[in-house]
Chains A and B, each alone.
Chain A
Amino acid sequence: MLSLDFLDDVRRMNKRQLYYQVLNFGMIVSSALMIWKGLMVITGSESPIVVVLSGSMEPAFHRGDLLFLTNRVEDPIRVGEIVVFRIEGREIPIVHRVLKIHEKQNGHIKFLTKGDNNAVDDRGLYKQGQHWLEKKDVVGRARGFYQENSSVEDRNYLFLILEL
Protein backbone atom coordinates (compact mmCIF):
# COMPACT_ATOMS: atom_id res chain seq x y z
CA MET A 1 0.00 0.00 0.00
CA LEU A 2 1.26 3.44 -0.81
CA SER A 3 2.00 5.41 2.32
CA LEU A 4 2.73 9.08 1.71
CA ASP A 5 3.38 10.03 5.32
CA PHE A 6 6.70 11.58 4.47
CA LEU A 7 4.92 14.03 2.19
CA ASP A 8 2.63 15.20 4.97
CA ASP A 9 4.51 18.43 5.40
CA VAL A 10 4.07 19.28 1.76
CA ARG A 11 0.41 18.34 1.74
CA ARG A 12 -0.33 20.59 4.65
CA MET A 13 0.93 23.63 2.80
CA ASN A 14 -1.50 25.71 0.87
CA LYS A 15 -0.76 27.00 -2.62
CA ARG A 16 1.00 30.12 -1.42
CA GLN A 17 3.34 28.26 0.87
CA LEU A 18 4.20 25.80 -1.88
CA TYR A 19 4.93 28.66 -4.27
CA TYR A 20 7.09 30.28 -1.59
CA GLN A 21 9.14 27.11 -1.23
CA VAL A 22 9.67 26.99 -4.99
CA LEU A 23 10.65 30.66 -4.96
CA ASN A 24 13.07 30.05 -2.09
CA PHE A 25 14.88 27.44 -4.11
CA GLY A 26 14.82 29.69 -7.17
CA MET A 27 16.35 32.51 -5.16
CA ILE A 28 19.23 30.39 -3.96
CA VAL A 29 20.04 29.44 -7.53
CA SER A 30 19.55 33.01 -8.69
CA SER A 31 21.88 34.38 -6.03
CA ALA A 32 24.69 32.12 -7.19
CA LEU A 33 23.99 33.03 -10.81
CA MET A 34 23.90 36.75 -10.08
CA ILE A 35 27.17 36.64 -8.17
CA TRP A 36 28.81 34.94 -11.13
CA LYS A 37 27.35 37.40 -13.65
CA GLY A 38 28.33 40.27 -11.36
CA LEU A 39 31.91 39.03 -11.36
CA MET A 40 31.76 38.82 -15.13
CA VAL A 41 30.67 42.44 -15.38
CA ILE A 42 33.23 43.72 -12.85
CA THR A 43 36.23 41.94 -14.34
CA GLY A 44 35.13 42.27 -17.96
CA SER A 45 36.08 38.69 -18.60
CA GLU A 46 33.60 36.04 -19.72
CA SER A 47 35.08 33.54 -17.30
CA PRO A 48 36.48 35.35 -14.28
CA ILE A 49 37.66 32.22 -12.46
CA VAL A 50 39.38 29.36 -14.28
CA VAL A 51 41.10 26.17 -13.22
CA VAL A 52 44.56 25.26 -14.48
CA LEU A 53 44.18 21.98 -16.32
CA SER A 54 47.68 21.01 -17.41
CA GLY A 55 51.18 21.18 -16.05
CA SER A 56 52.49 23.41 -18.83
CA MET A 57 53.08 26.35 -16.49
CA GLU A 58 55.04 24.62 -13.78
CA PRO A 59 56.64 25.56 -11.45
CA ALA A 60 54.41 28.64 -11.34
CA PHE A 61 51.00 26.97 -11.62
CA HIS A 62 50.13 23.40 -10.96
CA ARG A 63 47.11 21.47 -12.07
CA GLY A 64 44.08 22.30 -9.97
CA ASP A 65 45.02 25.88 -9.15
CA LEU A 66 42.37 28.57 -9.41
CA LEU A 67 43.12 31.71 -11.38
CA PHE A 68 41.33 35.04 -11.06
CA LEU A 69 41.18 36.94 -14.32
CA THR A 70 40.42 40.44 -15.53
CA ASN A 71 39.99 41.59 -19.07
CA ARG A 72 39.84 45.35 -18.97
CA VAL A 73 40.28 47.31 -22.17
CA GLU A 74 42.52 49.92 -20.52
CA ASP A 75 45.16 47.39 -19.53
CA PRO A 76 47.40 46.56 -22.49
CA ILE A 77 48.89 43.12 -22.79
CA ARG A 78 52.65 43.13 -22.27
CA VAL A 79 55.38 40.54 -22.75
CA GLY A 80 55.83 38.32 -19.71
CA GLU A 81 52.21 38.45 -18.61
CA ILE A 82 50.17 35.34 -18.11
CA VAL A 83 47.09 35.24 -20.30
CA VAL A 84 44.23 32.83 -20.62
CA PHE A 85 43.12 32.48 -24.21
CA ARG A 86 40.86 30.40 -26.37
CA ILE A 87 41.89 29.09 -29.74
CA GLU A 88 39.27 29.44 -32.44
CA GLY A 89 37.24 26.30 -32.70
CA ARG A 90 38.31 24.95 -29.32
CA GLU A 91 36.27 25.18 -26.17
CA ILE A 92 38.89 24.82 -23.48
CA PRO A 93 40.95 27.91 -22.58
CA ILE A 94 44.73 27.68 -22.19
CA VAL A 95 46.92 29.41 -19.63
CA HIS A 96 50.33 30.47 -20.99
CA ARG A 97 52.78 33.36 -20.91
CA VAL A 98 53.16 36.02 -23.63
CA LEU A 99 56.45 35.75 -25.51
CA LYS A 100 56.37 38.28 -28.35
CA ILE A 101 54.12 41.17 -29.30
CA HIS A 102 53.63 43.12 -32.51
CA GLU A 103 51.78 46.35 -31.89
CA LYS A 104 50.39 48.81 -34.40
CA GLN A 105 49.89 52.52 -33.90
CA ASN A 106 46.16 52.11 -33.47
CA GLY A 107 46.64 49.67 -30.58
CA HIS A 108 45.97 46.51 -32.55
CA ILE A 109 48.04 43.65 -31.11
CA LYS A 110 49.33 40.32 -32.34
CA PHE A 111 51.10 38.13 -29.81
CA LEU A 112 52.74 34.75 -29.39
CA THR A 113 52.52 32.59 -26.30
CA LYS A 114 54.44 29.74 -24.73
CA GLY A 115 53.97 27.62 -21.66
CA ASP A 116 56.77 27.91 -19.09
CA ASN A 117 57.16 24.18 -18.93
CA ASN A 118 56.91 23.57 -22.67
CA ALA A 119 59.91 23.24 -24.95
CA VAL A 120 58.42 25.13 -27.92
CA ASP A 121 56.04 28.03 -28.39
CA ASP A 122 52.34 27.56 -29.00
CA ARG A 123 52.31 27.82 -32.79
CA GLY A 124 51.67 24.09 -32.90
CA LEU A 125 48.51 24.58 -30.87
CA TYR A 126 47.05 27.41 -32.93
CA LYS A 127 44.65 26.92 -35.80
CA GLN A 128 45.97 25.74 -39.14
CA GLY A 129 47.65 28.74 -40.76
CA GLN A 130 47.38 30.93 -37.66
CA HIS A 131 50.69 32.26 -36.34
CA TRP A 132 49.59 34.91 -33.90
CA LEU A 133 46.89 35.45 -31.36
CA GLU A 134 44.76 38.58 -31.14
CA LYS A 135 42.95 40.44 -28.42
CA LYS A 136 39.65 38.81 -29.28
CA ASP A 137 41.02 35.38 -28.36
CA VAL A 138 41.88 36.49 -24.85
CA VAL A 139 39.60 35.42 -22.01
CA GLY A 140 41.57 37.43 -19.46
CA ARG A 141 44.88 38.10 -17.77
CA ALA A 142 45.76 36.37 -14.55
CA ARG A 143 45.57 38.73 -11.61
CA GLY A 144 45.57 36.36 -8.68
CA PHE A 145 45.56 32.71 -7.97
CA TYR A 146 44.72 30.18 -5.33
CA GLN A 147 46.72 27.05 -4.72
CA GLU A 148 45.59 24.37 -2.37
CA ASN A 149 48.78 22.73 -1.21
CA SER A 150 51.38 25.41 -1.40
CA SER A 151 53.70 26.55 1.33
CA VAL A 152 53.73 30.15 2.53
CA GLU A 153 57.03 30.93 0.81
CA ASP A 154 55.82 29.69 -2.56
CA ARG A 155 52.71 31.80 -2.27
CA ASN A 156 54.62 34.98 -1.45
CA TYR A 157 56.98 34.40 -4.36
CA LEU A 158 54.13 33.96 -6.78
CA PHE A 159 52.23 37.00 -5.48
CA LEU A 160 55.34 39.06 -6.23
CA ILE A 161 55.47 37.72 -9.73
CA LEU A 162 51.86 38.59 -10.42
CA GLU A 163 52.34 42.08 -8.98
CA LEU A 164 49.34 41.95 -6.73
Chain B
Amino acid sequence: MAAELHRAGEAVVWEAIVGLAVVPTAGQAVAVVKWKTDDKPVKIDKWDGSAVKNSLDDSGKKKYVENFGLIDGRLTICTIACFFAILALLWDCMHPFPESKPVLALCVISYFVMMGILTIYTSYKEKSICLMAHRKDPTGMDPDNIWQLSSGLKRFDDKYTLKPTFISGRTKQQREAKFTKSIAKFFDHSGTLVLDAYEPEISRLHDSLAIEK
Protein backbone atom coordinates (compact mmCIF):
# COMPACT_ATOMS: atom_id res chain seq x y z
CA MET B 1 0.00 0.00 0.00
CA ALA B 2 2.73 2.43 0.91
CA ALA B 3 4.76 1.49 -2.15
CA GLU B 4 1.78 2.14 -4.40
CA LEU B 5 1.19 5.55 -2.90
CA HIS B 6 4.80 6.36 -3.33
CA ARG B 7 4.90 5.45 -6.97
CA ALA B 8 1.72 6.94 -8.29
CA GLY B 9 1.22 10.52 -7.24
CA GLU B 10 -2.20 11.08 -8.79
CA ALA B 11 -3.51 7.82 -7.52
CA VAL B 12 -3.42 9.02 -3.93
CA VAL B 13 -6.93 10.35 -4.19
CA TRP B 14 -8.30 7.13 -5.63
CA GLU B 15 -6.62 4.98 -3.02
CA ALA B 16 -7.99 7.21 -0.30
CA ILE B 17 -11.55 6.86 -1.54
CA VAL B 18 -11.33 3.11 -1.55
CA GLY B 19 -9.62 3.09 1.81
CA LEU B 20 -12.30 5.22 3.43
CA ALA B 21 -15.07 3.20 1.91
CA VAL B 22 -13.88 -0.05 3.36
CA VAL B 23 -15.58 0.01 6.72
CA PRO B 24 -15.54 -3.22 8.62
CA THR B 25 -18.97 -3.39 10.12
CA ALA B 26 -19.79 -6.41 12.17
CA GLY B 27 -17.27 -8.53 10.33
CA GLN B 28 -18.31 -7.43 6.83
CA ALA B 29 -16.13 -5.33 4.57
CA VAL B 30 -17.93 -3.13 2.10
CA ALA B 31 -15.69 -1.86 -0.68
CA VAL B 32 -16.89 0.87 -2.97
CA VAL B 33 -14.95 0.41 -6.16
CA LYS B 34 -14.41 3.10 -8.68
CA TRP B 35 -14.58 1.62 -12.18
CA LYS B 36 -12.98 4.24 -14.39
CA THR B 37 -9.20 4.42 -14.35
CA ASP B 38 -8.70 7.81 -15.88
CA ASP B 39 -6.52 9.16 -13.09
CA LYS B 40 -4.66 5.96 -12.43
CA PRO B 41 -1.36 5.62 -14.25
CA VAL B 42 -1.27 2.94 -16.87
CA LYS B 43 0.59 -0.14 -15.81
CA ILE B 44 0.99 -3.14 -18.04
CA ASP B 45 3.22 -6.12 -18.49
CA LYS B 46 6.15 -4.69 -20.39
CA TRP B 47 6.90 -7.97 -22.10
CA ASP B 48 3.42 -8.33 -23.56
CA GLY B 49 3.64 -6.79 -27.02
CA SER B 50 -0.06 -6.32 -27.65
CA ALA B 51 -0.66 -4.75 -24.24
CA VAL B 52 2.15 -2.28 -24.88
CA LYS B 53 0.76 -1.32 -28.26
CA ASN B 54 -2.76 -0.96 -26.91
CA SER B 55 -1.71 1.27 -24.06
CA LEU B 56 0.37 3.51 -26.34
CA ASP B 57 -2.50 3.72 -28.82
CA ASP B 58 -4.99 4.58 -26.13
CA SER B 59 -2.83 7.32 -24.69
CA GLY B 60 -2.26 8.77 -28.13
CA LYS B 61 -5.98 8.91 -28.72
CA LYS B 62 -6.76 11.03 -25.71
CA LYS B 63 -6.28 14.32 -27.53
CA TYR B 64 -8.87 13.69 -30.17
CA VAL B 65 -12.60 13.42 -30.42
CA GLU B 66 -12.96 10.01 -31.87
CA ASN B 67 -15.06 9.15 -34.88
CA PHE B 68 -16.11 5.54 -34.70
CA GLY B 69 -16.97 4.91 -38.32
CA LEU B 70 -14.24 2.39 -39.09
CA ILE B 71 -14.56 0.48 -35.87
CA ASP B 72 -18.33 0.37 -36.16
CA GLY B 73 -17.97 -1.19 -39.58
CA ARG B 74 -15.89 -4.00 -38.21
CA LEU B 75 -18.26 -4.52 -35.27
CA THR B 76 -21.24 -4.68 -37.63
CA ILE B 77 -19.64 -7.35 -39.80
CA CYS B 78 -18.82 -9.48 -36.76
CA THR B 79 -22.30 -9.02 -35.31
CA ILE B 80 -23.94 -10.12 -38.56
CA ALA B 81 -21.71 -13.21 -38.69
CA CYS B 82 -22.61 -14.18 -35.13
CA PHE B 83 -26.26 -13.58 -35.94
CA PHE B 84 -26.09 -16.15 -38.74
CA ALA B 85 -24.48 -18.63 -36.38
CA ILE B 86 -27.17 -18.15 -33.74
CA LEU B 87 -29.89 -18.43 -36.39
CA ALA B 88 -28.47 -21.74 -37.57
CA LEU B 89 -28.33 -23.04 -34.01
CA LEU B 90 -31.90 -22.06 -33.16
CA TRP B 91 -33.36 -23.27 -36.46
CA ASP B 92 -31.70 -26.63 -36.06
CA CYS B 93 -33.10 -26.97 -32.55
CA MET B 94 -36.62 -26.18 -33.67
CA HIS B 95 -36.70 -28.15 -36.94
CA PRO B 96 -34.53 -31.23 -36.50
CA PHE B 97 -32.19 -32.31 -39.22
CA PRO B 98 -32.72 -33.13 -42.12
CA GLU B 99 -35.59 -30.72 -42.64
CA SER B 100 -33.31 -27.87 -41.65
CA LYS B 101 -30.73 -28.68 -44.31
CA PRO B 102 -31.38 -25.77 -46.71
CA VAL B 103 -31.47 -23.19 -43.92
CA LEU B 104 -28.31 -24.62 -42.40
CA ALA B 105 -26.51 -24.58 -45.71
CA LEU B 106 -27.50 -20.96 -46.20
CA CYS B 107 -26.30 -19.97 -42.73
CA VAL B 108 -22.99 -21.77 -43.03
CA ILE B 109 -22.22 -20.24 -46.40
CA SER B 110 -23.26 -16.78 -45.20
CA TYR B 111 -21.07 -17.13 -42.13
CA PHE B 112 -17.97 -17.92 -44.11
CA VAL B 113 -18.75 -15.19 -46.62
CA MET B 114 -18.93 -12.72 -43.70
CA MET B 115 -15.59 -14.01 -42.46
CA GLY B 116 -14.12 -13.36 -45.88
CA ILE B 117 -15.57 -9.85 -45.93
CA LEU B 118 -14.15 -9.22 -42.48
CA THR B 119 -10.69 -10.31 -43.55
CA ILE B 120 -10.77 -8.10 -46.60
CA TYR B 121 -12.07 -5.20 -44.53
CA THR B 122 -9.36 -5.43 -41.89
CA SER B 123 -6.60 -5.86 -44.42
CA TYR B 124 -7.50 -3.13 -46.84
CA LYS B 125 -9.83 -0.59 -45.40
CA GLU B 126 -8.53 -0.37 -41.88
CA LYS B 127 -4.90 -1.15 -42.52
CA SER B 128 -3.28 -0.14 -39.28
CA ILE B 129 -5.43 2.87 -38.55
CA CYS B 130 -6.39 2.90 -34.94
CA LEU B 131 -8.11 6.25 -34.73
CA MET B 132 -10.16 8.44 -36.98
CA ALA B 133 -11.07 11.82 -35.61
CA HIS B 134 -12.90 14.79 -36.93
CA ARG B 135 -11.67 18.22 -36.03
CA LYS B 136 -14.44 20.60 -36.77
CA ASP B 137 -13.46 23.69 -38.67
CA PRO B 138 -14.01 26.73 -36.46
CA THR B 139 -15.55 28.94 -39.12
CA GLY B 140 -18.18 26.32 -39.83
CA MET B 141 -18.05 26.94 -43.56
CA ASP B 142 -15.52 24.42 -44.77
CA PRO B 143 -15.92 20.65 -44.47
CA ASP B 144 -14.28 18.89 -41.54
CA ASN B 145 -10.62 18.18 -41.37
CA ILE B 146 -9.84 14.58 -40.72
CA TRP B 147 -7.10 13.32 -38.48
CA GLN B 148 -6.00 9.75 -38.83
CA LEU B 149 -3.71 8.00 -36.45
CA SER B 150 -1.85 4.91 -37.51
CA SER B 151 0.46 2.90 -35.34
CA GLY B 152 2.60 -0.16 -35.66
CA LEU B 153 4.54 -2.41 -33.36
CA LYS B 154 6.13 -5.51 -34.79
CA ARG B 155 6.13 -8.77 -32.92
CA PHE B 156 9.08 -9.13 -30.55
CA ASP B 157 10.39 -5.80 -31.73
CA ASP B 158 10.69 -2.76 -29.53
CA LYS B 159 10.33 -0.03 -32.13
CA TYR B 160 6.95 1.64 -31.98
CA THR B 161 5.84 3.72 -34.96
CA LEU B 162 3.23 6.42 -34.64
CA LYS B 163 1.96 8.07 -37.79
CA PRO B 164 -0.64 10.79 -37.65
CA THR B 165 -2.10 11.82 -40.98
CA PHE B 166 -3.84 15.09 -41.58
CA ILE B 167 -6.38 15.28 -44.40
CA SER B 168 -7.58 18.75 -45.01
CA GLY B 169 -11.29 18.89 -45.60
CA ARG B 170 -10.94 21.89 -47.81
CA THR B 171 -8.22 20.93 -50.21
CA LYS B 172 -8.42 17.15 -49.76
CA GLN B 173 -4.67 17.11 -49.39
CA GLN B 174 -2.99 14.61 -47.16
CA ARG B 175 -0.03 15.29 -44.92
CA GLU B 176 1.58 12.87 -42.61
CA ALA B 177 4.35 12.71 -40.10
CA LYS B 178 5.72 9.80 -38.23
CA PHE B 179 8.15 8.84 -35.59
CA THR B 180 9.70 5.54 -34.63
CA LYS B 181 11.03 5.15 -31.17
CA SER B 182 11.89 2.32 -28.92
CA ILE B 183 9.18 1.63 -26.37
CA ALA B 184 11.88 1.66 -23.71
CA LYS B 185 11.70 5.43 -23.83
CA PHE B 186 8.08 5.53 -22.68
CA PHE B 187 7.87 2.85 -20.03
CA ASP B 188 9.74 2.64 -16.80
CA HIS B 189 11.23 -0.58 -15.51
CA SER B 190 8.05 -1.69 -13.77
CA GLY B 191 5.83 -1.32 -16.83
CA THR B 192 4.17 1.99 -16.03
CA LEU B 193 3.58 4.26 -18.97
CA VAL B 194 5.35 7.53 -18.34
CA LEU B 195 3.05 10.07 -19.92
CA ASP B 196 5.56 12.86 -19.46
CA ALA B 197 7.85 11.27 -22.02
CA TYR B 198 5.10 10.21 -24.40
CA GLU B 199 2.85 13.25 -24.57
CA PRO B 200 5.44 15.76 -25.82
CA GLU B 201 6.20 13.47 -28.73
CA ILE B 202 2.56 13.29 -29.72
CA SER B 203 2.07 17.02 -29.33
CA ARG B 204 5.13 17.69 -31.42
CA LEU B 205 3.85 15.60 -34.29
CA HIS B 206 0.37 17.02 -34.00
CA ASP B 207 1.62 20.59 -34.05
CA SER B 208 3.98 20.01 -36.93
CA LEU B 209 1.05 18.90 -39.03
CA ALA B 210 -1.36 21.48 -37.76
CA ILE B 211 0.90 24.43 -38.37
CA GLU B 212 1.18 24.04 -42.09
CA LYS B 213 -2.48 24.66 -42.70
Contact = CB atoms under 8 A, between A and B. Distances in A.
A54 B58 CA distance: 57
B22 A8 contact: no
Contact of B75 (A20, A33, A37): A20
Contact of A41 (B35, B81, B108): B108
A38 to B, nearest CB: 4
Interface size class of A (residues with CB under 8 A): 20 to 34
Contacts of B97: 40, 46
B177 interface: no
Interface stretch (A9-17, A61-69, A116-124): A9-17
Contact of A37 (B43, B55, B92): B92
Interface residues of B, number: 41
Given A1-B22, A30-B111, A41-B101, A19 B75 contact: yes
A19 B76 CA distance: 11
B108 A37 contact: yes
A19 B68 CA distance: 13
A40 to B, nearest CB: 6
Contact of A30 (B40, B71, B74, B81): B81
B104 A41 contact: yes
Contacts of B51: 9
Top 6 nearest A-B pairs (CB, nearest first) are A30-B85, A2-B31, A46-B97, A38-B108, A23-B78, A34-B111
Interface of A: 1-2, 4-5, 8-9, 11-12, 16, 19-20, 23-24, 26-27, 29-31, 33-34, 37-38, 40-41, 44, 46
